[in-house]
Structure 1
Amino acid sequence: MGLKQMAALMLGVVSFWACNQSSKKDNAVVEAGFRAGKVKKEQFGGCDTVANKGVSVIINLWQPTDSGVVATKIREILTDKTIKRLNSYGDPASATARLEAIKNPKAAFEDFQKNYNEFKKDFPDAPGCWEVELHGDTVMTTPKVLFYQFDHYAFTGGAHPNSFTSYHAFDGKTGDEIEMKRFVADSVALLNLVEKKFRELEKLTPGVDLEDAGYFLANHKFFMPANYVFTPEGVLFFYNPYEIAAYARGPIEFTIPYEELKGIIRTESVF
């Protein structure tokens, strides 16, 4: 082999190695940007426990910290969800009139506080602090998807506070939110399996009428929970209070292992 041929061969090897290392580096950056993050904490107002009044908003949300497109998109979606939930407790007319109320949590809190103050003018003796707490964290991350849990607690008067949990999936390539049903291959088989596990958890035989047993059904038919999520152990199904049972029952949740979900879910789209 001549010197020119050898030099060309060495150049090719070096170029291949460099490209391979660059590819690995790029993948590492994507993974770090997708998975690396921290909890962002915000607090507005406060409750006077002595006078039993006031308005409090606490927000603790895990967010990706990378400056890339995927992480930025996820942060934007989480912020939007936060503001919409806070605005649901404010004065609708005011929130519409004040465009800044839909742009940041502080302005949304101010509308919430305004609504509380108006309420206290009409009912000055009404006790209780109005509170909203939002907590968010990852459930599981894979190279393809980030699964997220959003816990919501609120008390704005009444017999008891309200709380609910929602689950969300974010595309690892774009940061866009995607629906959980995208990972379901056979929705009929999944519904049947979920009902079977539900009855086992609640100690109900297949012949027991769920409505006669006190559960809430949709058009007299069993239904999937609005929220379910993929975890390392399997798929977690979560019925919030009031969704299928009375408030006193609390949330109803159970996990079905992946082994029992073969052919029903698209694991290749998750992992």
Structure 2
Amino acid sequence: MKIRIICTLFLFACISCEKDGKLTFEATTFDQENCDDCPLVTITVPKALGTSKIVRTVNDVVTEEIISLLNFDEDNDAETINSAMESFRKEYQTLKEKFPEESMQWEAEIQGDVVFEDARILTIRLKSYLFTGGAHGYSTIRFSNFDKRKGIELENSKLFKNKGAFMDLAEAKFRSQEKIPATQSINSTGFMFDGETFYLPENIGFTPEGIQLLYNQYEVASYADGPIILTLPYDEVKDYLTVKIKT
């Protein structure tokens, strides 16, 4: 497999970064070598440059997310993207040996980008498409949020001062966007919330437009519906956030 470092830095990684406190990134691409018995794998992710705590945290989290996406073996102990790609290849080859006439070539495409950054908060988005047989592949989007000052990843539970009040606001906005009457069940128009109760998605991210709530396929709707996205402007949610966002 090959690793290519793309010398052109992302647009946000410029001379002014030192002045506005933004991190510097470069795009790193991992390719699976072409062969008849290999899956098609392409991974391009932003790599933070430097030696600070937040740099190490960002790069570790991105690596862990990619390993998780490629993991099809509970006993897999991959610690690097390369070793995760190798494990993915071996799983494909094992399946092909068992079912040579039925196995279709696996694919994995993962694209990462910095979707939001200010002096305090950084959000990285990973878009992935995986095909490991069946009628179709599966696409997901994952957000990872970071507190740059503390050098840590922010869990969703730490994003809000009053989660209950925020959920009430989010549900009202969700119902308005999806045209679900306030007097009817959240699932009355075809959604599939467990227990017929609204809840926040697994993926919540900071974007230039506001806090984005992203439900991946199958999370609350069918595959055909695609991802369900609700974006709440910062001026509407600032009182609920544990951090102040500068836009």
Same fold by TM-score greater than 0.5: yes
Deviation at 1:267, TM superposition (A): 4.3
Q: What is the rounded CA distance, in whole Å, between the counterparts of 2:69 and 2:25 in structure 1?
A: 23
User: Shift of residue 175 of structure 1?
Assistant: 2.8
Q: CA offsets, 1:134-153, max 9 Å, x none?
A: 21111111111211111121
What is the CA-CA distance between 1:262 and the residue it aligns to?
4.2
What per-residue deviation string (whole Å, max 9, x for no partner) do you get for residues 220-244 of structure 1? 2111111111222221111111011
SS in 1 for 2:196: coil
| TM-score calculated relative to the size of structure 2 | 0.84
Q: Classify the secondary structure of the residue corresponding to 2:193.
A: coil
2:39 to 50, 55, 62: 55
Structure 1 stretches lacking a partner, 5+ long: 1-26, 97-101
> How far is the alpha carbon of 1:256 from its aligned partner?
1.2
Which residue in 2 is equivalent to 1:259?
A: 235
1:122 and 2:98 correspond: yes
Stretches of 4+ aligned residues off by more than 3 angstroms: 27-30, 45-48
Give the TM-score normalised by the residue count of structure 1: 0.77
Query: What percentage of residue pairs aligned between the two structures are identical?
Result: 30
Aligned to 1:28: 18
2:219 is equivalent to residue 243 of structure 1:
yes
SS at structure 1 position matched to 2:90 = helix
Match in the other structure for 1:80: 64
Match runs of 1:7-46 below 5 Å: 28=18, 31=21, 34-46=22-34
Report the counterpart of residue 71 of structure 1 in structure 2. 55
Q: Which protein is bigger by CA-based radius of gyration?
A: 1
User: Unpaired segments of 5 or more residues in structure 2?
Assistant: 1-16
Number of the residue aligned with 2:159: 183
Offset of 1:127 from its aligned partner? Answer: 4.6
Secondary structure at the aligned position of 1:266 is classed as: coil
1:80 deviates by: 2.4
Task: Report Cα offsets for 1:108-140 as digits up to 9, x if no partner.
Answer: 222221211121122111152101122111111
Amino acid at match of 2:29: K
Is residue 2:202 matched to residue 1:226?
yes
**Letter of the aligned partner of 1:207 in structure 2?**
T
- Partner SS state of residue 72, structure 1: helix
**Cα deviations across residues 158-215 of structure 1 (Å, max 9, x unaligned)?**
1111111111111212432111332312211211111112122222221232334321
What CA RMSD, in Å, does the superposition of the two structures yield over aligned residues? 2.3
